[in-house]
Structure formats: structure tokens, C-alpha cells
Homo-oligomer: A and B are copies of this chain.
Amino acid sequence: MEDTKLATALVRLAHLVTRVYAEVSKEFELTPQQIQLLCMLLGGSTGMTEMSRALGLEKSSMTGLVDRAERRGVVVRVRDQRDRRACGIELTEQGREIAHDAHRKVTARVEGLIGEIDPGDRERLESVLVGIVRAPHVGRDLPQVAL
């Protein structure tokens, strides 16, 4: 019988973080997916195909997501002049602001969840978690700044 307490705690944590993420998104009157999109674009503009790969979605799902984000004025499609099939998705000024604010709010609230811990423990945990998230078999498709 192997130990699963840590795994269970992580799953619950994931549910919590998801709620935090959802709450913050709602404050901006956007969906969690749209906020994730914006945060990812903080890492630089990309095309539809690359974004769908990074987010683990079908291209057709990206089309709808970007459609709605564009309608809300937080991103724009910019036609690529060299490859006229492609387009780059870029943050509008408002989109960039929201992305930064949302990023700050989410991390601040998650920090609030963590609360007071020993500075030494904090450093250890940090390096352990970063190790997990960065493991090659794990982070392959994870966007840099998708929060």
C-alpha cells in the first residue's frame, strides 16, 4: 500500500487554485480560459497552431476562444504578411493590463493561502516544486507564462 496523502493534498490544492483562478477571472468579467490565454500571451505573440498546442486544445477550439477574446477587445488577430495563411494573436493594451493584474491577483491570493512558513522551508519547497514542474516528462507543452 503506497502513500497517497501527498497526491491527495495536491489534487485538493489544484481544485482550490482553480477556484481562485475562477474568482479572479470573474472580477475581470472574463472566463478562466480567457485569462489563461492573456497570461500566456504575456510571454509573446504566437499563431493559432502554437497556442492550441501550448494550451492542449484543438485548433478549432482556439478559433472560438480567440473570437470571443477579440470581441471583448483583449486580443487582436494580426495577419502575417509573409505567410498569408497564418495570423499572430496579440494582446491589446487593455488585454495586457488585465493579464498583469490577474497574474498579480492570483499569485497574491495563492500566497495568502500558503500563509506563514519558515523561510528555509519555503526555499526547499520552491526548489522541489520547480523541479517537478520543469521535469522533462512533465512540462513539455506547458506555456511559459500561462500562470
Contacts and interface: CB of A to CB of B under 8 A. Distances in A.
B114 A128 contact: yes
Interface residues of A, number: 46
Nearest to A39: B11
Given A2-B111, A114-B6, A114-B7, A14 B17 contact: yes
Contacts of A79: none
A8 B143 CA distance: 13
Interface stretch (A43-51, A61-69, A87-95, A119-127): A119-127
Contact of A12 (B3, B11, B108, B142): B142
Contact of A56 (B13, B19, B122): B19
A86 B4 CA distance: 36
A132 interface: yes
A146 interface: yes
Interface of A: 2-19, 21, 56, 106-108, 110-111, 113-115, 117-118, 121-122, 124-126, 128-133, 135, 138, 142, 146-147
